Copies of this chain bind each other. A is one copy, B any other.
Amino acid sequence: MLKVGLLGAGRIGHVHARAISAHPGSALVAVSDAITENAEKLAAEYGIAARSSDEIIADADIDAVLIATSTDTHSDLIEASTAAGKPVLCEKPVDLSLERAVACQAAVHKAGKPVMIGFNRRFDPNFGAMKAALDAGEIGKPELLSITSFDPAPPPVSYIKVSGGLFRDMMIHDFDMANFMMGGAPDTVTAVGRSIVDPEIGAAGDVDTAVVTLTYADGRLAVIKNSRRAVYGYDQRVELLGSDGLLQAQNMLENTVVKSTAAGVTGAKPTYFFLERYMPAYTAEWDAFVSAVTNEAAMPVSLGDGVDALRMAEAATRSAKDGMPVRLADVG
């Protein structure tokens, strides 16, 4: 039984608390949060202790740490936790600064403890089935990947300002999805981004709509589309053209009811947002972490994967600003 300390008791912390608790191989034993009240509330729910991060990391009786704090604390907490001998599952992104993330990677390497980055979408059963079909050769050699990833509504501008920007905050999931499907990072990143959904996002120095093209050394291509607003719900589709066919992972829908009237044939909308859509993925993600720790196996998503995605986000941010393709090798 893996005894787990949870750092961060916000919305996503609650999601993880449930997964840790429900898993037969792990137990939630402590929680911390920058806002003590939040930690206490979650602790009460699970009948566990609210403590400080430092205490949790230092506690020899805690086997592993899940980091779900604000992004600016990720690298420090990863380093402290691994230095204390604890395997870590950390929410994405590793850091907003690529430099800092790379330094963290070096520190972790030295500590010799495994770190998994929480790219939950890799554990979605639909994307998993698509990847399995790809790996089984069902569409031959992959050639052209497309990722459509629209949020239902933009976050508050206050959040946008500290988010690191769309490429680091939102598209980073899609960069990792591309790396997952394509089996590694691309050569170059070409990005265009605009603020067309909400001018306040543009005023805050960010974009809300973006298209990024990736090129790979062997000629493959990928394109990622992001929008901060799709009023019909969370639009999460991936498709991949190969030499022998096309694979598509389509949206999950709220239900299977279809209504035909004089006005048309209407079905349900996509599940609203990440909590609804990716709940099974969070469960599977946690299971994968527990399994890797228990079996001393390689992490299914490594810290290196987190750094790769961050490097792509950095490249895209530059490309969108300069209007030029950016080679990944020239970043960081």
Which A residues have a C-beta under 8 Å from some C-beta of B? 22, 125-126, 129-130, 133, 138-139, 143-144, 146, 148, 150, 190, 192, 194-197, 209-211, 213, 215, 218-221, 223, 225, 227, 229-233, 235, 241, 243-270, 323-325
Give every chain B residue within 8 A of A323 (Cβ-Cβ): 325
Give every chain B residue within 8 A of A133 (Cβ-Cβ): 257, 259
A264 B268 Cβ-Cβ under 8 A: yes
Assembly CA distance A54 to B113 (angstroms)? 54
B196 A219 Cβ-Cβ under 8 A: yes
B196 A143 Cβ-Cβ under 8 A: yes
Among B126, B218, B225, B256, the residue within 8 A (CB) of A257 is: B126
Q: Which 5 A-B pairs have the closest CB atoms?
A: A245-B261, A232-B260, A196-B219, A250-B256, A194-B219
Quick one: copies of this chain in the complex?
4
Give every chain B residue within 8 A of A194 (Cβ-Cβ): 215, 219-221
A265 B232 Cβ-Cβ under 8 A: yes
Give every chain B residue within 8 A of A130 (Cβ-Cβ): 257
Question: Could you list some 15 contacts between A and B, CB below 8 A?
Answer: A22-B22, A146-B148, A192-B221, A194-B220, A195-B219, A196-B219, A196-B220, A229-B243, A230-B245, A233-B260, A235-B246, A248-B260, A250-B258, A260-B270, A266-B267
A261 B138 Cβ-Cβ under 8 A: yes
Give every chain B residue within 8 A of A148 (Cβ-Cβ): 146
Given A139-B259, A255-B129, A264-B266, also A227-B241 (CB < 8 A) = yes
A249 B245 Cβ-Cβ under 8 A: no
Among A22, A144, A209, the one with the most B-chain Cβ atoms within 10 Å of its Cβ is A144
Among B223, B233, B246, B251, the residue within 8 A (CB) of A223 is: B223
Give every chain B residue within 8 A of A265 (Cβ-Cβ): 232, 253, 266-269
B260 A269 Cβ-Cβ under 8 A: yes
11 new A-B contacts, CB < 8 A, other than A130-B257, A190-B213, A265-B268, are: A22-B22, A126-B256, A196-B218, A197-B243, A211-B213, A227-B241, A230-B260, A245-B261, A249-B257, A264-B268, A265-B269
